[in-house]
Amino acid sequence: MVLSAENISSYLNHKADIYYFDTIDSTNNEAKRNSHKLADTPLLYVADQQSAGRGRLGRTFYSPSDTGLYMSLMLKADTQTQDIVCMTTAVAVCVCEALEELCNIKPMIKWVNDIYIDNKKVCGILCEAVTDPLSFKIKGIIIGIGINIRTTDFPTELKDTATSLGQAINRNHLCALITDKIIESYKTISTRCFIDKYKERSLVLNKHINYIENNEQKNATAIDIDSNGGLVIETENGIKTLSTGEITVRLKND
Ligand code: BTN
């Protein structure tokens, strides 16, 4: 079934305004360009291909045509800033559950925003806040999700670390299911009910990790995920919490 706004809409239980593009620079960019349209109805931007897909920490996200799903859901922020901070954590659980339901696999999460199967990355999540230019208040959130569905030809630098679902699943259905789950999860985000589910799927908990802080590589053991999605680690200098968004964590065998 061809990827289209109409087909996504046929699977969607919640109301959303859907915009589909054969090719776009980045669905997150497109959402941002349309942030003046933020309203109670969620806005969903979906593309078959991205020419400038973006990842966390200024990285690019490889987004070839026909083999992946690239989507950005833009929601009005009527919640606390702390809730926005842990959106990536909540979304990671939604994506895993949708993939599990449709593909019969058990995806895992590498803190903070990467979804893994068979120890390789299959999906990345990039959440970005939309701020009011005058008040600087957060008025919305853009949730960008990129999933390798049938990609086989990864660029050399990704060959060892990236994978795809390797299944011919219906992208419209997957997109709608993820969207429904995120909209539902957002309603109860203040309860943090997703944290336990996140922990169950964590690839880093109770593992030795390296992390880079101030350009320096450090060793630690990941011991918990706190209620804001922060990674609690034990270092030689004691226990501390890495907050989402600033740090790259590597498993010792990465
Ligand atoms: C990461 O791996 O660090 C996050 C990758 C997020 C990729 C998705 S694809 C749809 C949306 N548009 C983008 O430019 N990025 C996100």
> Which ligand 1 atom sits closest to the C-alpha of 50?
14
Per-residue confidence in pLDDT tens, the chain, 254 aa: 999 999 999 999 999 999 999 999 999 999 999 999 999 999 999 999 999 999 988 899 999 999 999 999 999 997 777 788 899 999 999 999 999 999 999 999 999 999 999 999 999 999 999 998 888 889 999 999 999 999 999 999 999 999 999 888 999 999 999 999 999 999 999 999 999 999 999 999 999 998 887 778 888 999 999 999 999 999 998 999 998 655 667 776 55
| Residue 128 shares a structural domain with residue 152 | yes
Measured from the Cα of 29, ligand 1's closest atom is 14
Best residue among 115, 126, 149 to mutate for probing ligand 1's pocket (most ligand atoms within 8 Å of CB) is 126
Structure tokens at 104: 């019969």
Q: Is pTM, for the whole model, over 0.75?
A: yes
**Residue 53 CA, closest ligand 1 atom number:** 14
Same domain? For 38 and 157 the reply is: yes
Strand ranges (E), 36-137: 43-50, 68-76, 108-110, 114-117, 120-131
Percent helix, strand, coil in the chain, to 5, is: 30, 35, 35
Residue where a domain terminates, one of 157, 181, 200? 200
Task: Please indicate, yes or no, whether residues 142 and 223 belong to a single structural domain of this protein.
Answer: no
Look at residue 214 in the predicted model and tell me its pLDDT.
77
162 and 64 in a single domain? The answer is yes
Same domain for 173 and 68:
yes
Which is nearest to 81 in space by CA: 126, 122, 127, 31? 127
- CATH number of the domain where residue 183 is located: 3.30.930.10
Residue 57: phi and psi, rounded to 5, are 55, 35
Question: Is the domain of 117 the same as that of 9?
Answer: yes
The CATH number given to whatever domain includes residue 215 is: 2.30.30.100
29 shares its domain with 73: yes
Domain shared by 217 and 123, yes or no: no
Neighbours of 53 (CB within 10 A): 25
Residues 6+ apart with CB under 8 A from 40: 76
**How many structural domains does the chain have?**
2
Mutate to test the pocket of ligand 1, among 24, 26, 171 (most ligand atoms within 8 A of CB): 26
Q: For residue 243, what pLDDT is reported?
A: 85
Cis peptide before 122 (omega within 30 of 0): no
> Is there a single domain that holds both residue 195 and residue 224?
no
> Are the C-beta atoms of 126 and 144 separated by less than 8 Å?
yes
Q: Please check whether residues 56 and 156 belong to one and the same domain.
A: yes
The β-bridge partners of 10 are none
How far apart CA 92 and CA 185 sit, in angstroms, is: 11
Q: Based on the fold, state whether residues 88 and 157 are members of the same structural domain.
A: yes
> What is the extent of the structural domain holding 185?
5-200
CA of 146 to the centre of ligand 1 (A): 5
Task: Give the pLDDT confidence score for residue 83 in this predicted structure.
Answer: 85
* Calpha distance 227→108 (Å, rounded): 19
- 26 with 79, same domain: the answer is yes
Spatial separation of the C-alpha atoms in residues 243 and 68, rounded to whole Å: 29
